[in-house]
Structure 1
Amino acid sequence: MDAELLVAINDLRSPALDAALGPLGEHGYLLYPAFLVALLVMRRRAVATTTRDGLLAFLLALFVTETFLKPLFARPRPTAIPELLAQLDVLGSVPGARSWSMPSGTAAACGAGAAWIWSRLGWRAGLPAAIIAVLACFARLYAGVHWPTDLLFGATLGIFVALGVDRFSRWAG
Protein backbone atom coordinates (compact mmCIF):
# COMPACT_ATOMS: atom_id res chain seq x y z
CA MET A 1 0.00 0.00 0.00
CA ASP A 2 2.89 2.37 0.76
CA ALA A 3 4.27 2.07 -2.77
CA GLU A 4 0.89 2.48 -4.47
CA LEU A 5 0.06 5.65 -2.52
CA LEU A 6 3.53 7.07 -3.12
CA VAL A 7 3.32 6.47 -6.89
CA ALA A 8 -0.23 7.89 -7.06
CA ILE A 9 0.83 11.11 -5.33
CA ASN A 10 4.06 11.34 -7.32
CA ASP A 11 2.03 11.01 -10.55
CA LEU A 12 0.33 14.35 -9.77
CA ARG A 13 3.49 16.10 -10.99
CA SER A 14 3.10 19.41 -12.82
CA PRO A 15 5.39 22.43 -13.28
CA ALA A 16 3.18 24.59 -11.04
CA LEU A 17 3.13 22.03 -8.22
CA ASP A 18 6.87 21.42 -8.65
CA ALA A 19 7.52 25.14 -8.13
CA ALA A 20 5.32 25.29 -5.02
CA LEU A 21 6.02 21.96 -3.38
CA GLY A 22 9.72 21.58 -4.21
CA PRO A 23 10.96 24.30 -1.85
CA LEU A 24 8.34 23.43 0.77
CA GLY A 25 9.42 19.80 0.83
CA GLU A 26 13.10 20.67 1.01
CA HIS A 27 12.99 23.54 3.50
CA GLY A 28 9.44 23.88 4.83
CA TYR A 29 10.35 22.48 8.23
CA LEU A 30 12.61 25.51 8.76
CA LEU A 31 9.55 27.77 8.92
CA TYR A 32 8.91 26.66 12.51
CA PRO A 33 12.15 27.83 14.12
CA ALA A 34 12.01 30.97 11.96
CA PHE A 35 8.51 31.68 13.30
CA LEU A 36 9.64 31.12 16.90
CA VAL A 37 12.67 33.39 16.51
CA ALA A 38 10.51 36.08 14.88
CA LEU A 39 8.08 35.77 17.79
CA LEU A 40 10.95 36.22 20.24
CA VAL A 41 12.24 39.30 18.42
CA MET A 42 8.78 40.87 18.31
CA ARG A 43 7.63 40.10 21.85
CA ARG A 44 10.88 39.40 23.70
CA ARG A 45 10.46 38.60 27.38
CA ALA A 46 6.82 37.62 27.19
CA VAL A 47 7.61 34.66 24.96
CA ALA A 48 11.25 33.86 25.76
CA THR A 49 10.42 30.63 27.60
CA THR A 50 7.86 29.60 25.00
CA THR A 51 10.37 30.20 22.21
CA ARG A 52 13.16 28.36 24.01
CA ASP A 53 11.00 25.34 24.72
CA GLY A 54 9.51 25.35 21.21
CA LEU A 55 12.99 25.29 19.70
CA LEU A 56 13.90 22.50 22.14
CA ALA A 57 10.91 20.41 20.99
CA PHE A 58 11.79 21.03 17.32
CA LEU A 59 15.47 20.13 17.76
CA LEU A 60 14.77 17.17 20.05
CA ALA A 61 12.36 15.67 17.51
CA LEU A 62 14.99 16.05 14.76
CA PHE A 63 17.78 14.70 16.97
CA VAL A 64 15.89 11.59 18.09
CA THR A 65 14.76 10.89 14.54
CA GLU A 66 18.07 11.41 12.76
CA THR A 67 20.43 10.05 15.42
CA PHE A 68 18.58 7.09 16.88
CA LEU A 69 15.51 6.03 14.93
CA LYS A 70 16.69 6.23 11.31
CA PRO A 71 19.73 3.99 11.99
CA LEU A 72 17.56 1.68 14.11
CA PHE A 73 14.97 1.13 11.35
CA ALA A 74 17.44 1.51 8.45
CA ARG A 75 14.56 1.57 5.98
CA PRO A 76 15.66 2.34 2.42
CA ARG A 77 14.10 5.30 0.68
CA PRO A 78 11.81 4.63 -2.26
CA THR A 79 14.58 5.94 -4.52
CA ALA A 80 16.87 3.10 -3.35
CA ILE A 81 14.58 0.46 -4.90
CA PRO A 82 15.38 0.28 -8.63
CA GLU A 83 11.95 -1.05 -9.69
CA LEU A 84 10.21 1.77 -7.83
CA LEU A 85 12.70 4.44 -8.88
CA ALA A 86 11.83 3.62 -12.50
CA GLN A 87 8.19 4.57 -11.74
CA LEU A 88 8.98 7.77 -9.84
CA ASP A 89 9.61 11.25 -11.13
CA VAL A 90 11.89 12.43 -8.33
CA LEU A 91 11.79 16.15 -7.61
CA GLY A 92 15.22 17.45 -6.69
CA SER A 93 18.26 15.32 -6.05
CA VAL A 94 17.97 11.60 -5.37
CA PRO A 95 18.98 10.90 -1.75
CA GLY A 96 22.02 8.67 -1.30
CA ALA A 97 21.75 4.95 -0.63
CA ARG A 98 22.74 5.47 3.04
CA SER A 99 20.09 8.13 3.60
CA TRP A 100 17.45 6.25 5.58
CA SER A 101 13.78 6.95 5.21
CA MET A 102 12.03 5.90 8.44
CA PRO A 103 10.96 8.06 10.22
CA SER A 104 10.94 11.31 8.29
CA GLY A 105 12.97 14.04 9.97
CA THR A 106 11.00 16.67 8.07
CA ALA A 107 7.72 15.23 9.36
CA ALA A 108 9.07 14.96 12.92
CA ALA A 109 10.21 18.59 12.88
CA CYS A 110 6.96 19.80 11.31
CA GLY A 111 4.85 17.75 13.73
CA ALA A 112 6.79 19.12 16.70
CA GLY A 113 6.63 22.69 15.43
CA ALA A 114 2.92 22.62 14.66
CA ALA A 115 1.99 20.85 17.91
CA TRP A 116 4.06 23.29 19.94
CA ILE A 117 2.57 26.34 18.28
CA TRP A 118 -0.96 24.93 18.69
CA SER A 119 -0.43 24.03 22.36
CA ARG A 120 1.12 27.36 23.33
CA LEU A 121 -0.48 29.89 20.99
CA GLY A 122 -3.89 28.32 20.38
CA TRP A 123 -5.73 27.16 17.31
CA ARG A 124 -5.52 30.46 15.40
CA ALA A 125 -1.76 30.13 15.14
CA GLY A 126 -1.82 26.33 15.34
CA LEU A 127 -4.13 25.70 12.40
CA PRO A 128 -1.89 27.47 9.84
CA ALA A 129 1.11 25.69 11.41
CA ALA A 130 -0.65 22.33 11.03
CA ILE A 131 -1.56 23.11 7.41
CA ILE A 132 2.08 23.93 6.64
CA ALA A 133 3.12 20.66 8.31
CA VAL A 134 0.69 18.64 6.21
CA LEU A 135 1.80 20.41 3.01
CA ALA A 136 5.50 19.89 3.80
CA CYS A 137 4.86 16.17 4.41
CA PHE A 138 2.78 15.91 1.24
CA ALA A 139 5.63 17.59 -0.64
CA ARG A 140 8.02 14.84 0.49
CA LEU A 141 5.66 12.22 -1.00
CA TYR A 142 5.18 14.33 -4.10
CA ALA A 143 8.96 14.52 -4.50
CA GLY A 144 9.18 10.73 -4.28
CA VAL A 145 11.70 10.63 -1.42
CA HIS A 146 9.60 9.17 1.44
CA TRP A 147 7.11 6.41 2.06
CA PRO A 148 3.73 7.52 3.47
CA THR A 149 4.33 5.59 6.70
CA ASP A 150 7.68 7.39 7.20
CA LEU A 151 5.80 10.67 7.27
CA LEU A 152 3.02 9.39 9.50
CA PHE A 153 5.49 7.99 12.02
CA GLY A 154 7.69 11.10 11.90
CA ALA A 155 4.79 13.51 12.40
CA THR A 156 3.37 11.43 15.25
CA LEU A 157 6.77 11.30 16.92
CA GLY A 158 7.16 15.07 16.57
CA ILE A 159 3.74 15.70 18.09
CA PHE A 160 4.51 13.46 21.07
CA VAL A 161 7.92 15.09 21.59
CA ALA A 162 6.34 18.57 21.54
CA LEU A 163 3.59 17.56 23.95
CA GLY A 164 6.17 15.92 26.23
CA VAL A 165 8.35 19.04 26.26
CA ASP A 166 5.22 21.14 26.86
CA ARG A 167 4.13 18.99 29.80
CA PHE A 168 7.63 19.03 31.31
CA SER A 169 7.96 22.79 30.80
CA ARG A 170 4.65 23.47 32.54
CA TRP A 171 5.55 21.09 35.37
CA ALA A 172 9.02 22.62 35.84
CA GLY A 173 7.50 26.08 35.86
Structure 2
Amino acid sequence: MEVLLRATDAIKSLRETRFSGIRSPAEFFDYHRISRPADLNQATSRISYNTRYFSSNYGLIIAALAVYAVITNYLLLFSIAFLVFGFAAINKFAPEATQFGEHTVTQKHLYTALFVIGIPLLWWASPIYTVFWLIGASAVLILGHACMLEPGVESDYATISEGAV
Protein backbone atom coordinates (compact mmCIF):
# COMPACT_ATOMS: atom_id res chain seq x y z
CA MET A 1 0.00 0.00 0.00
CA GLU A 2 2.86 2.34 0.83
CA VAL A 3 4.43 1.73 -2.59
CA LEU A 4 1.15 2.65 -4.27
CA LEU A 5 0.96 5.89 -2.29
CA ARG A 6 4.55 6.78 -3.21
CA ALA A 7 3.85 6.05 -6.88
CA THR A 8 0.70 8.21 -6.77
CA ASP A 9 2.64 11.06 -5.15
CA ALA A 10 5.39 10.76 -7.76
CA ILE A 11 2.85 10.92 -10.59
CA LYS A 12 1.18 13.97 -9.03
CA SER A 13 4.49 15.79 -8.62
CA LEU A 14 5.47 14.89 -12.19
CA ARG A 15 2.15 16.25 -13.44
CA GLU A 16 2.57 19.45 -11.43
CA THR A 17 6.18 20.09 -12.43
CA ARG A 18 6.80 18.64 -15.88
CA PHE A 19 3.38 18.44 -17.51
CA SER A 20 2.20 21.84 -16.33
CA GLY A 21 4.18 23.43 -19.16
CA ILE A 22 2.52 21.51 -21.99
CA ARG A 23 1.47 23.89 -24.75
CA SER A 24 -1.80 23.38 -26.59
CA PRO A 25 -1.83 21.35 -29.82
CA ALA A 26 -3.12 24.42 -31.68
CA GLU A 27 -0.02 26.34 -30.62
CA PHE A 28 2.37 23.41 -31.13
CA PHE A 29 1.05 22.59 -34.62
CA ASP A 30 0.48 26.19 -35.80
CA TYR A 31 1.25 25.82 -39.50
CA HIS A 32 0.92 29.59 -40.06
CA ARG A 33 4.20 30.11 -38.20
CA ILE A 34 6.20 27.57 -40.20
CA SER A 35 8.92 29.05 -42.40
CA ARG A 36 12.43 28.28 -43.48
CA PRO A 37 15.05 30.12 -41.42
CA ALA A 38 17.04 32.70 -43.37
CA ASP A 39 20.44 31.67 -42.03
CA LEU A 40 22.15 29.54 -39.41
CA ASN A 41 21.93 32.26 -36.75
CA GLN A 42 18.16 32.48 -37.09
CA ALA A 43 17.86 28.67 -37.04
CA THR A 44 19.99 28.51 -33.89
CA SER A 45 17.96 31.20 -32.11
CA ARG A 46 14.70 29.45 -33.07
CA ILE A 47 15.99 26.13 -31.79
CA SER A 48 17.17 27.74 -28.56
CA TYR A 49 13.84 29.45 -27.91
CA ASN A 50 11.51 26.66 -29.08
CA THR A 51 13.29 23.89 -27.17
CA ARG A 52 12.79 25.83 -23.94
CA TYR A 53 9.25 26.94 -24.77
CA PHE A 54 8.00 23.53 -25.95
CA SER A 55 10.18 21.36 -23.68
CA SER A 56 7.19 19.53 -22.15
CA ASN A 57 5.72 18.82 -25.59
CA TYR A 58 9.08 17.50 -26.76
CA GLY A 59 9.25 15.31 -23.66
CA LEU A 60 5.91 13.78 -24.64
CA ILE A 61 7.23 13.16 -28.15
CA ILE A 62 10.26 11.35 -26.76
CA ALA A 63 8.04 9.28 -24.43
CA ALA A 64 5.70 8.37 -27.29
CA LEU A 65 8.64 7.35 -29.50
CA ALA A 66 10.09 5.25 -26.66
CA VAL A 67 6.79 3.43 -26.16
CA TYR A 68 6.54 2.88 -29.93
CA ALA A 69 10.09 1.53 -30.07
CA VAL A 70 9.48 -0.96 -27.26
CA ILE A 71 6.07 -2.07 -28.53
CA THR A 72 7.30 -2.69 -32.08
CA ASN A 73 10.36 -4.65 -30.91
CA TYR A 74 8.61 -7.77 -29.58
CA LEU A 75 11.78 -9.43 -28.34
CA LEU A 76 12.74 -6.34 -26.36
CA LEU A 77 9.23 -6.12 -24.93
CA PHE A 78 9.30 -9.81 -23.99
CA SER A 79 12.75 -9.62 -22.39
CA ILE A 80 11.87 -6.53 -20.33
CA ALA A 81 8.60 -8.16 -19.21
CA PHE A 82 10.48 -11.40 -18.43
CA LEU A 83 12.96 -9.59 -16.18
CA VAL A 84 10.40 -7.34 -14.46
CA PHE A 85 7.80 -10.04 -13.82
CA GLY A 86 10.49 -12.56 -12.87
CA PHE A 87 11.90 -10.15 -10.31
CA ALA A 88 8.40 -9.46 -8.94
CA ALA A 89 7.52 -13.17 -8.81
CA ILE A 90 10.71 -14.03 -6.93
CA ASN A 91 10.05 -11.27 -4.39
CA LYS A 92 6.42 -12.28 -3.92
CA PHE A 93 6.45 -16.09 -4.06
CA ALA A 94 9.94 -17.02 -2.85
CA PRO A 95 10.95 -14.80 0.06
CA GLU A 96 12.23 -17.80 2.03
CA ALA A 97 14.57 -20.60 1.00
CA THR A 98 12.81 -23.72 -0.32
CA GLN A 99 14.00 -27.31 0.08
CA PHE A 100 13.80 -29.60 -3.00
CA GLY A 101 15.06 -33.02 -1.98
CA GLU A 102 18.68 -32.50 -1.02
CA HIS A 103 18.93 -29.03 -2.60
CA THR A 104 18.03 -25.72 -0.98
CA VAL A 105 16.92 -22.99 -3.39
CA THR A 106 17.34 -19.43 -2.13
CA GLN A 107 16.39 -16.07 -3.62
CA LYS A 108 20.01 -15.64 -4.65
CA HIS A 109 19.82 -18.81 -6.77
CA LEU A 110 16.56 -17.67 -8.37
CA TYR A 111 17.93 -14.20 -9.17
CA THR A 112 21.04 -15.78 -10.68
CA ALA A 113 18.92 -18.02 -12.89
CA LEU A 114 16.71 -15.08 -13.88
CA PHE A 115 19.68 -12.95 -14.90
CA VAL A 116 21.53 -15.81 -16.63
CA ILE A 117 18.48 -16.22 -18.87
CA GLY A 118 17.22 -12.62 -18.97
CA ILE A 119 20.38 -10.61 -19.65
CA PRO A 120 21.43 -12.53 -22.82
CA LEU A 121 17.81 -12.40 -23.97
CA LEU A 122 17.79 -8.65 -23.39
CA TRP A 123 21.13 -8.26 -25.18
CA TRP A 124 19.83 -10.27 -28.14
CA ALA A 125 16.84 -7.88 -28.36
CA SER A 126 19.30 -5.09 -29.33
CA PRO A 127 18.43 -2.36 -26.81
CA ILE A 128 21.43 -0.28 -27.92
CA TYR A 129 20.04 -0.09 -31.46
CA THR A 130 16.68 0.94 -30.00
CA VAL A 131 18.29 3.69 -27.90
CA PHE A 132 20.19 5.07 -30.89
CA TRP A 133 17.04 4.93 -33.02
CA LEU A 134 15.19 6.82 -30.28
CA ILE A 135 17.92 9.47 -30.09
CA GLY A 136 18.01 9.91 -33.86
CA ALA A 137 14.25 9.99 -34.38
CA SER A 138 13.78 12.40 -31.48
CA ALA A 139 16.55 14.68 -32.71
CA VAL A 140 15.17 14.84 -36.25
CA LEU A 141 11.61 15.55 -35.10
CA ILE A 142 12.46 18.01 -32.33
CA LEU A 143 15.19 19.94 -34.13
CA GLY A 144 13.11 20.01 -37.33
CA HIS A 145 10.09 21.41 -35.50
CA ALA A 146 12.13 23.86 -33.41
CA CYS A 147 14.03 25.11 -36.44
CA MET A 148 11.04 25.57 -38.75
CA LEU A 149 8.58 27.14 -36.28
CA GLU A 150 8.87 30.88 -35.87
CA PRO A 151 8.75 32.01 -32.25
CA GLY A 152 5.52 33.71 -31.25
CA VAL A 153 5.05 37.29 -30.17
CA GLU A 154 5.74 36.28 -26.56
CA SER A 155 9.38 35.56 -27.51
CA ASP A 156 9.99 39.29 -28.01
CA TYR A 157 8.82 39.97 -24.47
CA ALA A 158 10.93 37.11 -23.13
CA THR A 159 14.12 38.66 -24.53
CA ILE A 160 13.19 42.08 -23.11
CA SER A 161 12.53 40.66 -19.63
CA GLU A 162 15.80 38.64 -19.73
CA GLY A 163 17.73 41.78 -20.64
CA ALA A 164 16.07 43.78 -17.84
CA VAL A 165 16.99 41.24 -15.16
Same topology, TM > 0.5: no
TM range (shorter): under 0.3
TM-score by length of 2: 0.23
Q: Which of 1 and 2 has greater Rg?
A: 2
What TM-score results when the alignment is normalised by the length of structure 1? 0.22
